[in-house]
Amino acid sequence: MSLESKIKKLAMDIGFDLVGITTADPFERDEEAASQRVRDGLMDGLPWYTLERVQRMNRPQVLLDGARSVISLAVSYNATSDDNDNQLKSGDAGPQLTGKFARYARGDDYHDVIKKRLRRFVDELPDILGRAASTRVFVDDGPMNDRAAAERAGVGWFGKNTNILTPSHGSWVFLAQVITDVELRQDIPLKKTCGNCVRCIDDCPTGAIVAPYVLDNRKCISYLTIELRGVIPRELRPLMGDWVFGCDICQDVCPVNWKAAKGSETAFQKRHDFDAPELLPLLEMDDEEFRERFRNSPIKRTKRKGLQRNVCVALGNLGDARAIPALRKALVCDESLIRLHAAWALGRIGGDEALGCLKLAIAQETDPDVLDEIKITFAEWESRDL
């Protein structure tokens, strides 16, 4: 068995689903493409995503002195049965008001799970090599272009939605990289492409995929519900549907994913109701309840304030009057960000009860942005009556 085959077997034995190897040469094409996105403003909203970072992430030899190879790994998180996804939940008052979490966030935090595997991998690597090795590992949390490495290592190919598509597991994979100073034989990149398919582009509700392989981060629902810390642009709120953490639309419609193999990692199986979480309890939880419910979950990244902002938007889009009591409470909470989006949601639901809540709130609201939101809402309703 070759050295490369032994390395791949070690990775598979530890629990990775896919492994490929490439050189530590710069990802020149990817660096130029990412730099252009920064210059075009498509990465606005991510202040850490700078031209300097783009340079570092595309140059493995800068990230590790003496780097010779990159071992690219992937593990599937497609561990949830489709039969259980987004099913309607009923109660005494009929179907519950539910939202959606992106599939990758329905189980444990992937950073923790995969880093444990990577530590074991690099610890056992010297036994295979017969010598010590210098390594540096990445799991979507450092200046490393995971997708460029995965493509060049033959793990998958770039989809038009900018995700890496793998032949066996689709795009439902977490990527990880090990840069090492060991010279290894590189794998050949796949020749697969998306062909003429543009389903992901056509079906993105916000038009975030502005061209094949080009994503406008500012419009992406995943960015709006996770990375964005402030007010969600008013024109984008109606397009977000009931997504409250991340978005899977461009992956759900991708034909490559329709027959993707299931993953076996139990840590990524969905927690209770994480496929279709009830929205009203999410809106009413306090910080302690938020920490407890989302302990060791990717969803903790958005913070309670951000999640409840997203819940308000989802409730507004559902347009169900049963949400009015919870939104009324949110309209007088301590966080102006939540109050603003609760006001918008009440305006979307409309009717005498919802508008009555806004009339009471405007008399006691002191935040100018929230006041403006309420005034815009009333102006819209007055224009409808004309």
Could you write out the DSSP letters of every residue in 303-318? HHHHHHHHHHHHHHHH
- In residues, how long is the chain? 386
Three-state DSSP class for residue 206: coil
Chain centroid to CA 264: how far?
A: 21
Q: Which residues pair with 135 in a beta bridge?
A: 180
Measured CA to CA, the distance from residue 103 to residue 120 in angstroms comes to 26
User: 348 is written with which tokens?
Assistant: 């979307």
Helices and strands (DSSP H and E) totals, the chain: 17, 12
Amino acid letter at 280? L
Q: What is the three-class DSSP state of 113?
A: helix
With contact defined as beta carbons under 8 Å apart, do 332 and 343 qualify?
no
Both structure tokens of 48? 């850490």
Q: Would you give the distance in Å from CA 333 to the centre of its chain?
A: 28
Tokens of 139: 């799991």
- 8 Å CB contact between 121 and 100: no
Residue position matching structure tokens 């008399």 = 363
140 catalytic? Reply is yes
Of 89, 141, 133, whose CA–CA distance to 113 is shortest?
141
Q: How far apart are CA 343 and CA 336, in angstroms?
A: 10
The phi, psi pair for 49, rounded to 5°, reads -90, 85
Q: What gap in Å lies between CA 225 and CA 242, rounded to an integer?
A: 11
Catalytic residue among 140, 287, 367, 372: 140
Catalytic center residues: 140
